[in-house]
Each structure stands twice: as structure tokens, then as C-alpha cells.
Chains A and B, each alone.
Chain A
């Protein structure tokens, strides 16, 4: 390697000739490659390999976020996706170069004579960052919100205000995209009070929902003629507006408009499900027949609880006498898929697809759906034409 001085045409042609090539064998622009004057190995450059989603984000000019924790894997988030980042090594060296003219862009005009153009190597890389679309890391979200439970205005004095967090803060802490965090919060009985994210306490949730449903009787409303404003007016002194709005969003749907007034209907499935959880909460195993009776009596008149509503929240065992039912929540299950299947089959030997789906759908991806997961991790059998799944290496 020679020291830096401008390279002449003679020098270039000399080595070409030694290589038994003629000036006329090559295109008329020759490029001479130099290392940059700046520090080569202490540059601030990194290569990030882009898949089609990330390429699109970058080309659109969108901002991406690298979210890391010293103990965690690093992720890159776009507005709606999480990418898991790993260091990929290459055995080749990748020279980062500036101002290369590619073959097709060399205008081969013999009349203009020979040209020399300079290329600068600004870095040598033996590794690059690889980003693969993956699941968001949401475990921390659940942990953090355990300290932010809302039990009603009268119990606010118990709460350590230092621990309360805003959505913006969560976006910085949680290794997930803002959209994925929003979706997770929407599924979690979360209410925003004074800009802080609060997890609604189970008992308080039940109390407020009961107040709301009681208004149906008190006002002799039809089930599909629920008045939102009147609900707020009637409960406004007892319950913060945010909480009523939150539960109204969760449990009510638009039904019809009468005289310009939008009316609502409580969602039967959601309400019944919640009342089942209330009954089973901390109750251990419940006699199925007694449970179904109590459940039916607990829900507003006109709503019909159905066993199918229990999928994902409770397990029914028909092998015992009498049959029993007990609460079974996904959050109690292991995060590892093999361990989770093991626990599921220890809890109940045979499952139908709709029964087991809620507990494993978090592992499903665009390419591998729930049925594919079952095919891989469980064994199927048919009893009276109904398909059941049981442990792969079971008895």
C-alpha cells in the first residue's frame, strides 16, 4: 500500500498493462479507491438491514425508535410494529464507499479521453444490524400497571403518585410500538385519569358496572335504548366521568337513534363474561349447575349467559361428579410455548379448538395460526365427530 498522493493516469495504465489488460479493454472512467482521511474504525456509522416494512418507513421519512434496556434485547419500533434486532456477522468485509460510479453510469465516450474518479472508503464492516418483525415485549407493561390500580376517588390517598405513568412515558419504557401499546391497553381495563394510565381495580370495576346496569331497571329502559348522557348525569357524583366513559366504551355499542338521540345497547357477551369472572373470582372450584344458575340470575334481565362465553376465562370439567367450573386466566400461564401446552394439558386432558384457542393465540403469527400451533404441539383425536386436542406424548 502506498502513501497518499494523487494517482496518475500513467500509474493506473502501468498496472493495467502488467495485468495484461489494455486501456481499451476497460471503460474510459477508472476509479481510484482511497481510505478516508478521517478515523476509519472509530466512525459513527452502523449498517441496518431493512426488510420491506422498515424500508418503507425509512423512505416515507418516518421516525423509528430504538428501545433498549441493558438486560434486554434491543428492539426497533415503527409506529405500529416491533422489530427484534440482532448483530449479524459476515465473513466478508463490507467497505462503505462514497461516490462509486456503477458500470452502467459510466458514459463510455472515447473522444473525451480517459477520466479518473475518486472513491472514498469511509468504513469497513464485518457485521450489521438485522431487524426482524416480532412480537412486542409487553410483560413490563403489565408489571408497571400493577402499581397504578384505580380503586375509586375515596381510595386515592393510598396511591403512591410517584409511580403513576403517562402514555408518553409508557411509550419510552415499553419495548413495543405505540400502536401495539395502545392495543394492549385497550384490552386491559385501563382508564386515563389526570393523564395517568390507571388499571381499573376488579371490585371497583364491578361496582361501577353494576351502578350502570341498575339504571336500566330504574329508568325502565329497553336493553337497546340506553341513554349515555343520563347515565353520566345519574352517576356523575359517585363515579369519575373518565371511568364511566371507559366502561361505556367497553360494554356498550351504538344501537339506534330516536329523535336525533343516539342510544346504546350493552354487549351481552362482554357483560355476561364479566359477571362470570365476578362469580368465579377467588371461588375455587364451583359446582357447574349452581354456577350456571347464579350466573343467569346475576346478569341484567334479558341477557342469556352461554357456556361458550367462558372460553378463555374458565374451565369446565365434566369428568367429575358433580361437574365443576373454575376461573382460569391466561396471565397465570407460562410464557414459553412448550411449558404453556404442558400446563394446559395438565389442567385439562382434552380440549376443543375454541376452548384452547384463547390461551395459545398469543403465539400465533401471520404465518403460523392457532391450528398450525396445535398440529405441532398437540395430538388430535375425534370423539363423536368432535375434534379434541390432547398432550402429544400423553397417556
Chain B
């Protein structure tokens, strides 16, 4: 089967949304329970006074850094219209915060 899908970019004048970004984690996020993720709280993001991002998930703390994506990502959203599938460039993502240090355990309160 042959197919052609269009990827529409909004015109330059309208401007692309820049409210999107990537947070990159080494490893994966797993839930304690098997319950679904939707709507759940994940963690806190802080920045130190000198600008280093800190991510606290559960009782783990990670130091990260902000980085420019060497090659940006287009965030494509698939849309179905009648029988047609098309993609819309919602945003060009140029920046990310990456956490690749080993998480430091936070000791204290029972969890």
C-alpha cells in the first residue's frame, strides 16, 4: 500500500510554540504499583542559585544540566481527518535538561 502524509508547519509569522522541551533521564520511570501513570506526580525540579538543575524523584536526587540539542526535534502530532492522516509540527524543541548522574539516595523519612 502506498501512502503520502503531509507534515504541515505553521508559517513563520505565526511562530512555533516553544513551550515544549525534553527532560532526558538515564534509565526509565517505573511505578511502585502497577497503576497507570496518568495524572500522577513524578517529582520536583529545582535550580541551584548557580543554575544547576536538581531533580528529586521519590527519595532520589539527581544533578543535571541544561543542554542545547545538537539537532533539534520537531514535535509531530498525528491528526486524522476523514480518511486522511496528516502531521502537524507543534513545536521545534531545541533545549533539554539531561540527568545522567547516578541518583543520590535521600535518607530520612520512611517511604
Contacts and interface: CB of A to CB of B under 8 A. Distances in A.
B92 A58 contact: yes
Contacts of B90: 45
Contacts of B48: 25-27
Interface stretch (A31-39, A194-202, A271-279): A31-39
Nearest to B3: A68
Interface string B61-83: 10000100001111111110000
Interface of A: 1-5, 7, 12, 14-16, 18-19, 21, 25-27, 29-40, 44-51, 54-55, 57-70, 76, 91-100, 102-104, 106, 108, 119, 121, 124, 128, 172-173
Given A12-B44, A97-B21, A35 B39 contact: yes
A94 B22 contact: yes
8 A-B pairs closest in CB distance:
A61-B11, A18-B108, A44-B78, A103-B51, A64-B7, A26-B46, A31-B45, A66-B5
A87 to B, nearest CB: 14
11 contacts: A26-B54, A27-B51, A33-B43, A38-B38, A47-B74, A68-B5, A92-B100, A93-B24, A93-B27, A93-B29, A96-B20
A173 B39 contact: no
Contact of A58 (B9, B47, B52, B58): B9
A44 B77 contact: yes
Contacts of B58: 1
Chain A contact surface mostly: mixed
A95 B44 contact: no
Contacts of B31: 1
Nearest to A7: B41
Given A15-B56, A103-B66, A95 B24 contact: yes
B7 A47 contact: no
Contacts of A14: 109
Contact of B74 (A15, A35, A48, A103): A48
Contacts of B56: 15-16, 19
Identify which of A1, A14, A121, A128 gathers the most chain B CB atoms within 10 Å of its CB. A1
Nearest to A29: B47
B45 A66 contact: no
Contact of B66 (A93, A98, A102): A102
A66 B4 contact: yes
Nearest to B105: A19
B40 A3 contact: yes
Interface in B8-53: 8-14, 16, 19-29, 31-33, 36-49, 51-53
Given A50-B71, A103-B51, A172 B4 contact: yes
Given A76-B7, A95-B23, A102 B95 contact: yes
Contact of A46 (B72, B87, B96): B87
Nearest to A68: B3
Contacts of B26: 91-92
A71 B10 CA distance: 31
Given A18-B108, A64-B9, 11 more contacts: A33-B42, A46-B75, A55-B71, A58-B9, A58-B92, A62-B9, A69-B3, A95-B24, A100-B21, A103-B53, A108-B49
A16 B46 contact: yes
A32 B56 CA distance: 10
A37 B39 contact: yes
Contact of B37 (A27, A40, A63, A69): A40
B7 A66 contact: yes
B8 A63 contact: yes
A18 B46 contact: no
Contacts of B52: 103
